[in-house]
């Protein structure tokens, strides 16, 4: 289904979706965040990349697994806590972030389907916004199989055509949302479709950053485990968690018990994000650490994304959103690192 929605009507559409919980980009001074909103007017679709991707909604930083408590008869009881299936809509999803969810989908599927992830995933509709202008100077989606108007993982793709949006439904979930406000939408004219094509072609040209020889990288990496490159590239790494926490594809987590009373015991078991750049991530309780230094941790990040994930799921675990580059406090640039990897291979 292809439709036209004027920008003026956009807030009315959002209002029609009152049965859904709405998330959208919201401006907070100099940055943009993805937030739950009540007022459609607060949505800012001109935002650059939100600091955190929709990952934070589907795979929240903190998820309660279960609660445990000692009953009056001194009996320990464990209660499973599953998230409520709140029908939700996320507006302004960038194509790279939608693609990223198709990658985390793979991780949370398989022999063990993750009920927490899927409850949230299945109840969420993703409304994408094509990037006519790269939302970050470090965008490189074209290098990793994406594009500024990719439809992968989206339920609807909106393309900004000046005073209106070209709205394309890509799934049943998407069509449902359009049908809830049918009168607001018009049939597109041939000129609109032309305009979309033109915008898309121009958008691709505006993406300046790219990884050279991406196709060769997985096989080159196979022989680079002991390369001195990792030492060199990680010299300034601060061991913070920005690159991984902001990454829309990174999915590593920790499980801990949070106790409100230790005797009798009462508390919650929670999952929180964790990341491979923290030194305690792999440390055994004996103190032995298989990845003891910055260089082995940078190597893990690169190899996981461009070798291991490719081996396991036949795709790069990177969608080119550029967040890790833009926000790295010391300017570690994954494109640069990968370019040096290709040089290494030649």
Partner 1 sequence: MVHNDYIPKLAHILEIKEEVGGARPIKTFRTQFQNKNDFSFRCGQCAMLSVFGKGESMISISSSPLVKDYLQFSILKMGRVTSALHEMQPGDIIGIRGPYGNGFPIKDWKGKNLIFIGGGIGLAPIWSVLNTALGKKEEYGDLTLIYGARTSKDLVFREELEEIKKKIAVHLSIDVEESDWNEFVGFVPQNVTDKKPSPNNAITITCGPPIMIKFVIKALEDLGFKDEQIYTTVENKMKCGIGKCGRCNIGSHYVCKDGPVYSWAELKKLPQEY
Partner 2 sequence: MVNLEDLKNEAHKLLKEGTVKYIIGYERGTNGLLPIPAFIKNPEDVERLIWDPTCVFNLTRFLVDEKRRKASEKEPDERPVGVIVKGCDSRALVVLLQEKFINRDDVYILGVSCEEAGVLDEKKLAKTLKGKKAKNIEFTKNDNFVVMTEDGKTEISAKEILAERCLECKANFPVIYDILLGEKVKRKSDKPFGSLEKFESLSKEERWTFWKEQLDKCIRCYACRSVCPMCYCDECVADTINFAVTADTTAEEKAQKIKWAEKSPVTSENFVYHLVRAIHLAGRCIDCGECERVCPLDIPLRLLNKKLEKEAKELFDYEVGFDPDQPSLVSSFKDEDPEDFIR
Partner 3 sequence: MAEEFEPKIVAFLCKWCSSAGSDLAGVSRMEYPPNVVPITVMCSGSVSPLYIFSAFKRGADGVLVSGCHPGDCHYIKGNFYARRRIALVKKLLDYIGLEPQRFQMSWVSAAEGKKYTQIIKDFVQELKPLGPQTKLRSNS
Instruction: Give the one residue of 260, 279, 292, 312 binding partner 3; rule: CB under 8 A.
Output: 260
CA angle 60, 324, 196 (to 5 degrees): 85
251 binds partner 1 (CB under 8 A): yes
Q: Please answer whether residues 323 and 247 qualify as being in contact, where contact means their C-beta atoms are separated by less than 8 angstroms.
A: yes
Q: Please answer whether residues 6 and 164 qualify as being in contact, where contact means their C-beta atoms are separated by less than 8 angstroms.
A: yes
Residues whose CB is less than 8 angstroms from the CB of residue 237 and which lie 6 or more positions away in sequence, other chains included: 277, 294, 297, 298, 330, 332
Cα–Cα distance list, 310 to 96, 109, 165, 318 (Å): 17, 16, 36, 10
Question: What is the C-alpha to C-alpha distance for residues 277 and 255, in angstroms, rounded to an integer?
Answer: 17
11 binds partner 3 (CB under 8 A): no
- The size of the interface with partner 1 (CB under 8 A), counted in residues, is 52
**Could you say which of partner 2, partner 3, partner 1, none residue 296 binds, taking C-beta under 5 to 8 angstroms by partner kind?**
partner 1
Among residue numbers 327 through 346, which ones bind partner 3 (CB under 8 A)? none
Q: What backbone phi and psi angles, to 5 degrees, belong to 267? A: 175, -165
Instruction: Give the one residue of 268, 297, 304, 323 binding partner 3; rule: CB under 8 A.
Output: 268
Are β-strands 156-160 and 31-37 bridged in parallel, bridged antiparallel, or unpaired? Answer: unpaired
- HSE-CB at 57 with a 13 A cutoff on CA atoms is 31
124 binds partner 1 (CB under 8 A): no
Instruction: Give the one residue of 202, 222, 336, 343 binding partner 2; rule: CB under 8 A.
Output: 336
Residue closer to partner 1 (CB basis): 86 or 236: 86
In the complex, least distance from residue 212 CB atom to partner 2, rounded to whole angstroms:
14
Which residues in this chain contact partner 1 in the complex, by CB under 8 A? 65-66, 68, 75-76, 78, 80, 82, 107-108, 110-116, 118-119, 225, 251-257, 259, 262, 265-267, 269, 271, 274, 276, 281-286, 290-291, 296, 303-304, 307-309, 311-312
């Amino acid at each position: 289904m292809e439709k036209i929605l004027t920008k003026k009507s956009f807030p009315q559409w959002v209002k029609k979706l009152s049965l859904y919980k709405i998330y959208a980009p919201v401006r907070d001074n100099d940055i943009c965040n993805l937030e739950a909103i009540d007022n459609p007017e607060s949505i800012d679709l001109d935002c650059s990349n939100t600091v955190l991707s929709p990952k934070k909604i589907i795979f929240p930083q903190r998820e309660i697994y279960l609660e445990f408590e000692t009953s009056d008869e001194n009996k320990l009881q464990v209660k499973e806590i599953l998230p409520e299936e709140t029908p939700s809509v996320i507006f302004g999803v960038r194509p790279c972030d939608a693609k990223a969810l198709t990658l985390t989908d793979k991780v949370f599927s398989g022999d063990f389907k993750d009920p927490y992830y899927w409850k949230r995933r299945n109840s969420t509709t993703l409304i994408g916004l094509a990037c006519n202008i790269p939302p970050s100077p470090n965008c490189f989606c074209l290098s990793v199989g994406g594009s500024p108007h990719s439809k992968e993982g989206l339920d609807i793709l909106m393309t900004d055509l000046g005073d209106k949006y070209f709205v394309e439904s890509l799934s049943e979930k998407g069509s449902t949302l359009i049908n809830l406000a049918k009168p607001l939408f018009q049939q597109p004219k041939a000129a609109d479709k032309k305009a979309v094509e033109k915008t898309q072609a121009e958008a691709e040209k505006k993406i300046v950053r790219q990884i050279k020889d991406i196709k060769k990288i997985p096989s080159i990496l196979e022989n680079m485990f002991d390369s001195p490159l990792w030492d060199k590239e990680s010299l300034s790494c601060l061991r913070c968690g920005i690159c991984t926490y902001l990454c829309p594809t990174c999915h590593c987590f920790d499980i801990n018990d949070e106790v409100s009373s230790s005797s009798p015991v009462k508390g919650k078991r929670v999952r929180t994000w964790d990341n491979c750049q923290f030194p305690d991530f792999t440390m055994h309780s004996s103190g032995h650490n298989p990845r003891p230094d910055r260089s082995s941790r940078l190597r893990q990040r690169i190899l996981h994304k461009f070798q291991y994930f490719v081996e396991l799921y036949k795709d790069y675990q990177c969608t080119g959103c550029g967040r890790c580059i833009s926000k790295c406090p010391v300017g570690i640039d994954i494109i640069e690192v990968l370019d040096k990897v290709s040089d290494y291979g030649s």
